[in-house]
Amino acid sequence: MKQMYHPSDLAAMDPLVLMKNLDHVRMTSRRLSYILQQQVHLYVPEANQLREQIDRYVEAERQIESEMARRRIRA
């Protein structure tokens, strides 16, 4: 899984930017999941591509949450 953010980039981010990025990755992964659910007619390669994008955003969400926990920042 390719990471969306490098750990040192996350460590350097302002807390407000971290929270905005967390909101962004959460909304994007939910939107992509909704698209995948609604478009069951998608061909397998397209569906697999959507799943990979969703996985990437979910991983970014996990990374940001870990950094926020490390800094003890509450959303």
Task: Supply the pTM of this predicted model.
Answer: 0.78
- Contacts of residue 5, defined as CB under 8 A and 6 or more positions apart, other chains included, come to 21, 60, 63, 64
* Structure confidence at residue 65 as a pLDDT band (50, 70, 90): very high
- The pLDDT tens digits for 33-48 are 998 888 766 677 888 8
Give me the pLDDT at residue 42, please: 65
Asked whether residue 2 carries a pLDDT value surpassing 90, the answer given is no
